[in-house]
Amino acid sequence: MEIEKLLQAVQNGDVPAFLDVLQRDPLVLDRIIVLGVSETPLHAASVLGHTNLVQELLRRAPKLASELDSRGNTPLHLAAAKGHVEIVTLLLSADPAAASARNLDGRAPIHVAAIKGRVDAVGRIVVGAGGARSAREVTDRGETALHLAVANGKLEVVRAVVGAVGERDGAELLNWKDCDGNSILHIAVAKKQIETIKFLLAIPGVNVNPINKNGSTPLDVLKQSPRDLQDMEIEDSLLNERALRSKSIYPFDHDPDQMQIPQVSREAPTSPLLVMREIPLKNKPPARKRANEISHHRSSLMVVASLIATVAFQAAITPPGGVWQSDYTVDDNGKPVKEPHFAGTSIMAHNQRKEYGLFFIFNTMAFLSSLSIILLLVSGLPIKRRRWMWVQMVTMWIAMTAQVITYFIALRHMTLDKTDSDVFPVLKKVTETAVLAWFCLMGVVFIGNLGRVCVYYLRKKGYIKKKKKREEEARALPDDVGEDEEV
C-alpha cells in the first residue's frame, strides 16, 4: 500500500507527499530494491524530469541509481533519452559506473541520448564520465555514439562530442569502425548528409579512405548508392580531400580485414620519398583529372538543364500574349460567332495558329530535351564515360537551339503589327541575322567537338600516338627524388 502511494507521489512530482510516505514507512525504498520492482521510483522521476524528487531519492537511497527496469535501462538511460541534463548530472554523481551500463538493446546512456539528439545530455555524460573513455562506449554491433548520431542525422551531437574530447581524441573516435567496418564517414556518405561530410573532412586527423569489410571506401559507397542531386557536391568534397576508390588503393584482391589503410596526410611532406608520392596527387593523374572534368561537366549540365526546363515550363503555361479571360461563343445578338474562344486558352493559338504551332513544337523540344538530361544524370546509370557526356552535350545543344527559336517566335509575336512598313522589316532582318549567327556558333561548336571525337578514335586505333610527358615530369622533380626513384 505504501509502495503504491510512493509511486503515485513520484508520478505527480509531489515531494511533500513523498516525504510523508517515507516518514510513515522509512524502509519502503529498501523494500523496492529487494523486491526487484520492474520500474523504481527513480526511473519514474528521471523520465518525468522531477529534479527535486530525484535529488531526494538519491540522498535517501543512492543504490537506486544502479537499478534496472524490465528493458535493462538504468535511470540514467531514461534521463539521457529525455534530455534532462540536471538529472543526468545527479545520477552520474551518485553512480559513475551507470554511464557504462547497457540495456537489452546493448546501448549505454550516451547511445540513447545520441539517437535522440540530446546534445546537452551527451556533452554532460562525456564530461562527467571520463571524457573520451565514455565516448568510446560501443554497442553490441561495435557502434559508438557518433555512429548512431550520424545514422540518425544528429550533426550537433557529433560536434558536441568532438568539442568535448578534443580534436585529437575526436579524430580517433571518428575513424572508429563498427562490426561492418564502417566509419562515421561511410555512414554520412551513405545517408547523403552533406553538412556532416564537410564537418568530418575539416578535421585534420580523419581518414578519408577507410575501407569497410565489403572493401569499399566512402567514395565507393557514394558510387554504389542511388544517384541524386546531392551526389555531385559530395563527390567534389571527397575528391578535394584526395578521396580514392578501393581499386585505386589496392589494385589487386586483398582481404579487407588484413588491409592496412593508408592515412592521407594533410600536412606538407618532409622526406624525399613523401615528396615523390605527393607530386602525382598535386598534379592529378590522368584518370583523376578526367574524373574531375566529367564531374564538373555533369554539374554544369544539371544547372543549365534545370534552367531551360524551368523557362520552357513557364513559357508553356504563360504563352505570348497570355490567355483568354472569358468565353466568347455568341455575339451581342445571341448568334454563334465564327471564331469562338474559351477562357484559359492561348490568345496566340487563336490569332496566329501557324506561329503558335511552331512555338509549341520548339518549346516542347526544349522542355523534353532538358528533362531527358536531368533524368539521365539522376538515374544512377553508369553513364560517366566521355561518349555518354557527348550524347548529353548534343542533347543540350538541341534544347538550347529550340529555346532560342522559341524566344524569337515569342518576340516577333509581341512586336508591332506587320503592316508597319517602317519597323517590321528591320525587326525581321535583325531576327534572321541573330538566328543565323546562333546556328553559325552551333556549327563551330559541333565541328570542334567532332574533331575531338575523331582524334579520340584515331588515338584509340593507334594512328596517333599520345604525347609522353614522363621526361617533363622527371625534369620537374628535385635531384634527390630522382636518385631515390632510381634506387
Please report which confidence band the pLDDT of residue 154 belongs to, taking 50, 70 and 90 as the band edges. very high
Give the separation between CA 229 and CA 75, rounded to whole angstroms: 44
Residue 19: the pLDDT is: 83
Residues 6+ apart with CB under 8 A from 408: 431, 434, 435
Residue 487: the pLDDT is: 28
| Size (the chain), residues | 487
Please compute the mean of the pLDDT values over residues 11-20 and round it to a whole number. 84
SS3 category, 243: coil
Report whether pLDDT(387) > 80: no
Q: What is the mean pLDDT of the chain?
A: 78
Neighbours of 456 (CB within 10 A): 14
Residues 6+ apart with CB under 8 A from 36: none
Report whether pLDDT(481) > 70: no
Distances (CA, A) of 326 to 335, 347, 348, 475: 17, 11, 15, 79
Contact 54, 45 (CB under 8 A): yes
Reported as a single tens digit per residue, the pLDDT across 179-226 is: 999 999 999 999 999 999 999 998 888 899 999 998 899 999 998 888
**What is the number of alpha carbons within 13 Å of residue 480 lying toward its C-beta?**
6
Residue 74: the pLDDT is: 92
Q: E strands of 103-159, at which residues?
A: none
Reported as a single tens digit per residue, the pLDDT across 233-283 is: 898 889 988 888 888 776 544 444 444 444 444 443 333 333 333 334 334
Considering only CA atoms, which of 198, 244, 237, 194 is closest in space to residue 219? 244
Give the separation between CA 238 and CA 236, rounded to whole angstroms: 5
Report whether pLDDT(59) > 70: yes
Instruction: Give the cell for residue 231.
Output: 551526389
Backbone angles phi, psi at 286, to 5 degrees: -55, -40
Reported as a single tens digit per residue, the pLDDT across 314-346 is: 888 888 878 888 887 777 777 787 778 788 788
Residues 6+ apart with CB under 8 A from 368: none
The DSSP-derived string for 360-406 is HHHHHHHHHHHHHHHHHHHS--S--SHHHHHHHHHHHHHHHHHHHHH
Contact 262, 234 (CB under 8 A): no
Q: Set out the domains of the chain in order of their start, with CATH numbers.
A: 2-203 (1.25.40.20), 295-461 (no CATH)
Greatest CA separation for the chain: 110
Reported as a single tens digit per residue, the pLDDT across 415-461 is: 655 555 566 667 667 777 877 887 788 788 778 877 877 887 777 77
Residue 476: the pLDDT is: 44
Neighbours of 487 (CB within 10 A): 5
Q: Which residues of 156-195 are buried (b: 16+ CB within 10 A; e: fewer)?
A: ebbbbbbebbeeebbbebbbbbbeebbbbbbbbbbbbbee
Given CA atoms 403, 404, 406, 410 in this order, what sign does their dihedral have? positive
Residue 250: the pLDDT is: 63
Report whether pLDDT(157) > 50: yes
% the chain with pLDDT above 90: 23
